[in-house]
Chain A
Amino acid sequence: MTNSLWGRLDDPAGNAGHTDHPPRMGFFTDTSVCIGCKACEVACKEWNEVPEDGYLLTGMSYDNTQQLGASTWRHVAFVEKPAETVETVDLGMPEVGLPGASGDAGVKWLMSSDVCKHCTHAACLDVCPTGALFRTEFGTVVVQPDVCNGCGYCVPACPYGVIDIRPEDGRAFKCTLCYDRLKEGQKPACAQACPTESIQFGEVDELRERAAARVEELHARGVDVARLYGADPEDGVGGDGAFFLLLDEPEVYGLPPDPVVTTRDLGSIWKHVGGAAAAIVGLGVASFMGRRR
Chain B
Amino acid sequence: MARGERPMVPDVEFESYYGRPILKEPTWKTPDVPLYLFLGGMAGCSAVLAEGAALTGRPELERVARMAAAGGAAAGTVALVHDLGRPERFLNMLRVIKPTSPLSVGSYILAPFSALSGAAAASNVTGLLPRLGRLAGLGAAAFGPPLATYTAALFANTAVPAWHEAHRELPFVFGGSGAQAAGGLAMLLVPLDQAGPARRMALAGAVVEIVAAESIVLRRGLVAEPYRKGLPGRLMRIARAATAVASAATVVGGRRSRIVAAAAGATYVAASVVTRFGVFEAGMDSARDPKYTVVPQRERLAARSESSTPQR
Contacts and interface: CB of A to CB of B under 8 A. Distances in A.
Contact of B149 (A153, A161, A276): A276
Contacts of B294: 251, 256-257
A171 interface: yes
B193 A293 contact: yes
A149 B26 contact: no
A151 B85 contact: yes
A19 B286 CA distance: 41
B208 A283 contact: yes
A280 B145 contact: yes
Nearest to B147: A277
A293 B167 contact: no
Nearest to A123: B159
A107 interface: no
A161 B56 CA distance: 52
B179 A283 contact: yes
Contacts of B204: 283, 286-287
B200 interface: yes
B17 A253 contact: yes
B164 interface: yes
A293 B192 contact: yes
Contacts of A147: 92, 95
B98 A126 contact: yes
Contacts of B153: 269-270, 273
Interface of A: 5, 58, 60, 66-67, 69, 77, 79, 123, 126-132, 147-153, 155-165, 169-172, 249, 251-259, 262-263, 265-266, 268-270, 272-273, 275-281, 283-288, 290-293
Contacts of A155: 24-27
Nearest to A262: B157
B302 to A, nearest CB: 10
Most buried by B among A249, A254, A256, A287: A287
Contact of B49 (A163, A278, A284): A284
A58 B174 CA distance: 41
Contact of B197 (A132, A151, A259, A287): A287
A129 B96 CA distance: 7
B103 interface: yes
Interface in B137-163: 144-146, 148-150, 152-154, 156-160, 163
Please name the 5 residue pairs, one residue from A and one from B, whose CB atoms are nearest each other, closest first: A150-B85, A170-B85, A254-B17, A276-B171, A149-B89
Contacts of B22: 160-161, 251, 254-256
Contacts of A256: 22, 293-294, 297
B28 A152 contact: yes
A107 to B, nearest CB: 15
B27 A164 contact: yes
Contacts of A251: 14-17, 22, 290, 294, 298
B21 interface: yes
B160 A150 contact: no
B178 interface: yes
Contacts of B107: 129
A252 to B, nearest CB: 5
Given A67-B20, A254-B17, A268-B167, A284 B101 contact: no
B290 to A, nearest CB: 7
A236 to B, nearest CB: 9
Interface string B293-311: 1100110110000000000
A272 B101 contact: no
Given A156-B26, A157-B157, A129 B101 contact: yes
Contacts of A266: 100, 157
B219 interface: no
A251 B294 CA distance: 7
A5 B90 CA distance: 27
A168 B100 CA distance: 29
